Each structure stands twice: as C-alpha cells, then as structure tokens.
Amino acid sequence: MTSVQDVNPRVRVIREPTNLQSLAVRLAEEIKQGAKKPFKKVIDVSSGDPHRAGMAPVSFVRQVMAACLFPELLKEQSLPLDVRQRAQSLLGACAGGSVGSYSTTCYGLTPVQESVAKFITRRDGVRSHPEDIILSSGSQKNLSFVLYIMANGEGKTQTGVLTPVPCPHTLPPLLDWSGLKMAPYQLMEERGWAVDLDELHRALKSAREHCEPRAIYISNPGNPTGHVQDRKTIEQVIRFAAAEGLILLAEEVYQDSVFGQDKEFISYKKVLSEMEKKYSETVEMVSFHSLSSMGECGLRGGYMEVINMDPQVKNHLFSMQAISSPPVLSQLTLDVMVDPPTPADLSYQTYTQEILHTQTTLSQNARRASEFLNDLPGMTCRPAMAGVFLYPRLLLPPQMIEEAKMLAVEPDVLYCQMLLEEEGVCLGAGCENGQEDQNYHIRMCVLASPDTLEEVLARLHSFHLRLLSRFP
C-alpha cells in the first residue's frame, strides 16, 4: 500500500516518487465521491499514454481486433473488406480460430514473428530472421528477460548496466528488481540531450570501481528527452561497446514518432550491419519495440530482436519467454502495427489520415508546449525532436528546496505533488528518470488532444506563478 502522510496542508508526502500516479488516482476517486477540489478532473500526462490524454485509437487496429474478439463481425458488411480479411487471416493463426486459445507454440505465434521480421527487413534493408524475434507482453517484459540472465555477483562483482540519465522512468526499478547495478552516464542537456563519447568512457571507468559493467542501454529516440541520434553517434556507441565488451541494449520504441526538422530515425541494427565485419558480425545487440508507439499501451505487446547472440543464450531467452508467452490479442495487434494497410487496401486512406493527424498533433503540441515552458520564469525546455515527452528543467527557489528536505522528498517530487494537489495535473518527476543531481526536471507527455494540452498548460501556468510568489 502507498504510504501517504499529511505533513503539510499543501501536499501529501509520498515516500516513493513513483507513487505520484497513485495519488492522481486517489484524487480522481475523491472527486467521484463528491469531494470538493480546486479542479473538476485530474489530468495525468506523466506517462506516454496518449489515449488517457484524449487521443483516439487507430480505427483499423480497433476494427481488426474487434472482429478477432467477436468473429460474428466477419459477416458485418459495414466493416471494410480488408479489415475482415485481416481478422480472418489472424484468426487462422490462432489455435481453434480463437484469441482465447493459447499460442500455437510456446514461443508465440509464428506468423507474427514472420511479420515482425519482414517489417525490420523493409525498414533497414537488411534481412531479419523470424527465429531472432522474441515476442512478449511489452518491451519492459523483454528487457526483464535479458537483465535476468545477465544478473550475477555481489558488490564489486555485481553486473552493471551503463544507463543514460535521464532514462525511461521504468528502467531504474527494473534494474533494481533484476539485481543489476545502474551505472549512470549523463546525457548532454546543453547539446539537446546528446550522447557523449567522453562521458561514456568516464562513466565506465567510474562504474568499474564498484561493479562489473556488461551492457550499455541506449534509448533512441530518447525517452524522455526526445533526442534523435545521428549515424556518427550510433557508430561511436557501437565501437565503444565492441572495445569494452558490452552488450548493446537498444530501446527504439518511439522510432515512428520523429518530427524534428532534418531528423530521421536510423536503427542500431542498420548501422551495425553496414560497419566492418569485426563489428557487424561480433557485437551482441538486442533491440526493443512495442505497441506503445501507436498508443496501445494497455494491450502490452512488444518484441525484441537478438543479433550476434550466443546460441545457448538465445535459446535460454526463448525458454524464459515460453514460461510466460504473451497474450494472443497483443500479438495480433503487434502484427497489425508492423504490417499496416497498403495503398491497395480499402482502409489505407483512413489509416494514413489518422496517422498523419497523430503525427501533426504531436509535432504541434511539442512546439507549442516547449515555447510555453520556456516563457515561464525559472523553467527552460530543450525542444524535442521525437518521442512523446518534453523534459523541462526547473530552477527551484532555495526555500522550496529546503522545505523538500524537511519533508524528506525530492524537490522535483514536491513540485509535482503540489501541482497535483492544487491543480489536478500529474507530471513525472525527474528523479524517476534516474537524476540524482541538483538539476531538477519534470516529465510531460505532449501526445494529447490539443484541448487537454491547453488545459494542462493553463493549470501549470497558474500553479507555477503562484509557487514563485510563495517562494520569492
């Protein structure tokens, strides 16, 4: 249970920053029960959950899934023919023609593995093999498999993972749960949160004093920073991993959400495959992707591709996945994500219009929110080039920092708690993303309906100026 203590009339102190969402749920429930608040509803933009923030799902995806769940819809003429054909095909891959059956193999649905491999091949121009694809209930589940088999030792022999700071907010607790040591390397905020080679060497040297680093985790496009790595940077990271004997863990979930001018997503696999054989045939790498990229976070589906991995290790990973094979429905949704309608399909025009609308909304929201945040006193925000988050920096008043120390919470957590209590807006605190220095940040998902975003910004503006007047 969440431990919440009313120490200050303005804020409920939460001992663990990841419980901000729990407080948001509690406040929403109190409103339902008739409690009077300064706001009518709670808006949670702390995580990359666009449907929660008012974005509509993709029609083709939901239509196909509906027909898979209720096959009687296959007779429904109001559904486009290509929707019914796709649903029929997917049901044919299911045992008994039902999503309620177990997967046809303990590793998942073979046709979905094949679809993912074809998607990667089209994307990179480099052949991908179905037997290198591992399906699971989300990228975090896949990552947990990899971390589990890497875990070893204690103290200075404990396995470490070079981890970007800031990093995805789910990563630090996952490393702790897996028994691995987080070895942080700082992303360069003044350079738009870029990866710096000198910093990687510094972090590795420091890490080796208290653990045994065996892997480097990369988030590209950056979560929550929105930074997009160029080919030169990717090559540098690959050479670094090769020289230091590190496994590359490449999280590439937001690869379809690049909107920065002159920016493009290039996968680590593509770059690796085009390098000299001493790299392309030896560097061990695992890349991750998931349904979160299309907003279907709650369906919990994803895949990882293993490259240059020892056959015994790969077999062990498949064996672990077989213990808890992913839900059939999420596998079918993943198939739709990697194999969307083509120009010859009836649903193509609607599908492309909806995807374009999402991309345009994301781009416009990111620009609008970034400009807004930079106009607030005591706040700066690097423009995002991709992903669904903004990660602005807070210059907090010294008095507030002192109050946070007295309340035994991080200052950025205190800021988020006060905002949540006073305005009903839930943001993420930078310490959730691995930051432990005095550079305080907040995390905001901007893939939201424009109306929702405007309400968030208005409430944030009111709170922030009120806060500064409270702590002059």
DSSP string across 174-208: HHHHHT-EEEEEE-BGGGTSB--HHHHHHHHHHHT
pLDDT in 10s for each residue of the chain, 472 residues: 333 333 343 443 333 445 898 999 999 999 999 999 999 999 999 988 888 888 899 999 999 999 999 999 999 999 999 999 999 999 999 988 998 887 877 677 899 999 999 999 999 999 999 999 998 887 888 888 899 899 999 999 999 999 999 999 999 999 999 999 999 999 999 999 999 999 999 999 999 999 999 999 999 999 999 999 999 999 999 999 999 999 999 999 999 999 999 999 999 999 999 999 999 999 999 999 998 877 788 888 899 999 999 888 888 887 777 776 788 999 999 999 999 999 999 999 999 999 999 999 999 999 999 999 999 999 999 988 999 999 999 999 999 999 999 999 999 999 999 999 999 999 999 999 888 778 899 999 999 999 999 999 999 999 999 999 988 7
CA distance 194 to 221: 11
CA 338 to chain centre: 18
Other beta carbons less than 10 A from residue 7's beta carbon: 13
Q: Is residue 357 part of a domain?
A: no
Structure tokens at 178: 């897996």
Q: Are residues 89 and 114 in the same domain?
A: no
User: Is 123 found in the same domain as 85?
Assistant: no
Report the length, in residues, of the chain: 472
CATH number of the domain bearing residue 268: 3.40.640.10
Domain boundary among 79, 101, 123: 101
Q: Are residues 141 and 35 in the same domain?
A: no
Q: Is residue 25 situated within a structural domain? A: yes
> Would residue 354 count as lying in a domain?
no
Q: Which helix (H) or strand (E) holds 302?
A: strand 302-307
Task: Give CA angle at 277 (272, 283), nearest 5°.
Answer: 50
The CATH number that applies at residue 81 is 1.10.287.1970
Q: Is the pTM of this model over 0.85?
A: yes
Report which residue type is found at 407.
Answer: L
Domain span at 37 = 4-55+372-470
Q: Which residue type, as a one-letter code, is found at position 209?
A: E
Residues 418 and 228: their CA atoms lie apart, in Å, by 32
Within 10 A of 395 (CB to CB), how many other CB atoms are there? 10
Residue 89 sits in the same domain as residue 109: no
Tell me, yes or no, whether 197 lies in a domain: yes
- Asked whether residue 139 falls in the same domain as residue 186, the answer is yes
Contacts of 142 (CB under 8 A, 6+ apart): 134, 136, 286, 288, 302, 303, 304
- 16 and 71 share a domain? no
Q: What is the H or E stretch that residue 458 is in? A: helix 450-470
For the chain, what is the domain count? 3
- Retrieve residue 184's tokens: 């942080």
Residue 47 sits in the same domain as residue 160: no
How many CB atoms lie under 10 A from the CB of residue 366? 27
CB–CB of 94/101 below 8 Å? Answer: yes
Indicate if 182 and 312 belong to the same structural domain. yes
**Cα 114 vs. chain centroid, distance in angstroms?**
24
Residue 364 phi, psi dihedral angles, 5° rounding: -65, -40
Examine residue 351 and state whether it is found in any structural domain, yes or no.
Answer: no
Beta-bridged to residue 11, according to DSSP, are 8
What does each C-alpha distance from 451 to 165, 422, 455, 458 come to in angstroms? 31, 20, 6, 11
Both 126 and 64 in one domain: the answer is no
With respect to residue 362, please indicate whether it lies within any of the assigned structural domains: no
66 and 40 both lie in a single domain? no
Give yes or no: residues 80 and 113 share one domain: no
CA distance 242 to 146: 18
Domain boundary among 67, 101, 135: 101
Q: Give 346's Cβ-side CA count (13 Å radius).
A: 11
Full 3-state SS string of 329-387: HHHHHHHHHHCCCCCCCCCHHHHHHHHHHHHHHHHHHHHHHHHHHHHCCCEECCCCCEC
Question: Which residue is it, tokens 């990717």?
Answer: 234
Q: How big is the chain by its Cα radius of gyration, in Å? A: 23
Quick check: bond before 383 cis, omega within 30? no
Instruction: Give a yes or no: residue 265 inside a domain.
Output: yes
Does 47 lie in the same domain as 78? no
Specify the residue for token string 């710096």.
Answer: 196
The CATH number assigned to the domain holding 16 equals: 3.90.1150.10
344 domain residue, yes or no: no
